[in-house]
Amino acid sequence: MTIAGTESVQNVHRPVSPSWTGVVRYLHITPRAFLPMESFNDLTLVAGKGIVGDRYMIGQESGFYSHKPEDGRQITLFEIETLEALARDAKIQMLPEEHRRNVTVQGVPLNHLVGRQFWVGEALLEATRLSTPCRHIEEILGKAVFDPMINRAGLNCRILKGGVIHVGDIVRGA
Amino acid sequence: MAKPIKHLQAVVRSIDEPMPGIKRLVLADQDDWRLPAFHPGAHIDLHLDGGLTRTYSLCNDPADCRRYIVAVKKEDSGRGGSRYIHEQLRPGDKIGVSVPRSGMALAPTAMNIFIAGGIGVTPFVSAILALEREHKENYVLHWTSRGNPSLADMLQPAIRAGRVHLYNTLETAAPDIQSLVRHYGDDAKAFCCGPDRMLDAFEAAVAHWPDSRKHIERFVAPKLAPTPSAHPFTVVLAKSGREKEVLPEVGLLATLEEMGADVSVSCGGGICGACRTRWIEGPPIHRDRVLTPQEREKEVIVCVAGCAGSRLVLDI
């Protein structure tokens, strides 16, 4: 017997809700640990590898966490709504180049996408896990962002289908 | 498994010697990528061969974010960092560099009084270049040196504008610091970097000023006051669970070094902040000149800290 509302959530294969459609607001990469992220209008994604020129491109890793290899860290996303929340709730001004994720999106419920596939422009991504905040960002920024970013630090993804993505691209469920 | 990357990897683009005994290094990313931003008066650690870590003030304009410039005086009686830079470091060498730290909060409209002795001018060079770029004239530099000043080529516009007063102590007496700081009004802010005797005179001259109006940069760590009442305690590294007794005569820093703990150390005297570490249990006895009271609730400068309790648990 299953009590209503308590069925296991692990085995429920729900489609991504079609009720959201997001957009890419910013794209950033950096080639090596500690260096600032630079903004680009487009990025080239390579399936199963990463972003051309970024420090976590598999096979050419030079990031702060590269000594901990992770297949599901080929590209990372961050909600622009979190930046707004940090300003509103914690009075911390954090810029899109400061959260150190690659893609800043608007209107995308990232925390809902773990284990699911979605499109960013012509690229197909699979969300592998939530990103976690890290002291490394505090060290680089000199801003106390660790605690306010807990549970909203972005999303790590694997690239299933590569391509060139652009600022302004639509983000939608697969 | 690959080793963790703990520092920026910079390339030594050039080394010149603006005057004998002073080497000026220009550091950049290998592809000239933008470097982490810094504030006027900020400093970086250079991670040199042989495990040497030394802290130097950045002396280029903070707006010039594709390179870091530091000036290093050779100290033959020092601990070896400046000798390595003068005798072994070459253009093209790679060098580990920390993210810039600290800096000086300049008065936006009130007078900024910079008092420098010799190579102690370095933190003020970046500040003056920033002020000049913003066409601000609310500063004055009083710069004492034995002989010609060492980095005058970097401050030519300020010197031509009459905002730099040079005192060559081979030809004239060193200025009276008390008289230098008292003519700029009650909202002026004073900064000093130089040898101990100059810093002592400065501290005496501004003793009655509020802390928010004075700033001291030390390049020699002050000797710590003896603590005859210090007691042994156990330091615990939370992530590995390793622990070791800290004897008063050995101290926390040496104990951590014996343990091979992952702590970056530079000044060893509680003034540079390179070894700031999060603590979990203690409480620590703070003896640094870096952390604010709020920061001390979670962090500790381990190179000078003690422990008020029987166990100091560090989050490393």
Mean pLDDT of all residues in B136-155: 91
Identify whether A115 is part of a domain. no
pLDDT band at B229 (very low <50, low <70, confident <90, very high): confident
- pLDDT over threshold 80, residue B2: no
pLDDT tens digits for B165-183? Answer: 999 999 988 889 998 888 8
The H-assigned helical ranges of B172-248 are 177-181, 196-205
Would you say residue A11 lies in a domain? no
Domain assignment of residue A74, yes or no: yes
- Domain assignment present for residue A149? The answer is yes
B128 touches chain A (CB under 8 A): no
Indicate whether A116 belongs to any domain: no
The number of folded domains in chain A is 1
Banded model confidence at residue A83, pLDDT cuts 50, 70, 90: very high
Up-side HSE of residue A173: CA atoms within 13 Å toward CB?
14
A101 Cα to chain B: minimum distance (Å): 16
Confidence band, pLDDT 50/70/90 cuts, at residue A9: low
Q: Is the per-residue pLDDT at A138 higher than 80?
A: no
**Closest residue to A64, CB basis, from B5, B33, B37:** B5
Contact of B7 with B47, CB cutoff 8 Å: yes
CA gap A125, A128 in Å, rounded? 9
Q: Is the pLDDT at B6 greater than 90, yes or no?
A: no
Q: A1 falls in which pLDDT band (50, 70, 90)?
A: very low
Give residue-wise pLDDT tens across range B242-261: 999 998 878 898 899 878 88
Q: For B193-202, what is the mean pLDDT?
A: 91
Domain span at A163: 18-105+131-173
Is residue A2 assigned to a domain? no
Does residue A123 sit within a domain? no
Name which of B1, B33, B37 is nearest A31 (Cβ-Cβ): B33
Task: Select from B4, B35, B278 the Cβ nearest to the Cβ of A35.
Answer: B35
Rounded to the nearest angstrom, the minimum Cα separation between B230 and chain A is: 32
Residues of chain A in contact with residue B297, where contact means CB-CB under 8 angstroms, are none
Is A134 near chain B, with CB under 8 Å?
Answer: no
Distance (Å) from the C-alpha of residue A130 to the closest C-alpha of chain B? Answer: 22
Band of the pLDDT at B22, cuts 50, 70, 90?
Answer: very high
Question: What CATH number does the domain containing A23 carry?
Answer: 2.40.33.20
Tell me the pLDDT tens digit for each residue of B210-226: 988 998 877 555 445 55
Closest-CA distance of chain A to residue B123, Å? 19
Long-range contacts formed by A89-95: CB under 8 A, 24+ apart: A89/A148, A90/A145, A90/A148, A92/A143, A92/A144, A92/A145, A92/A148, A94/A141, A94/A143, A94/A145
Whether the CA torsion B104, B222, B95, B99 is positive or negative: it is: negative
Residues 12-31 of chain A whose Cβ lies under 8 A from any Cβ of chain B = 30-31
Please report whether residue A10 resides in a domain: no
Quick check: B209 pLDDT over 50?
yes
Q: What was the ipTM of the complex prediction? A: 0.82
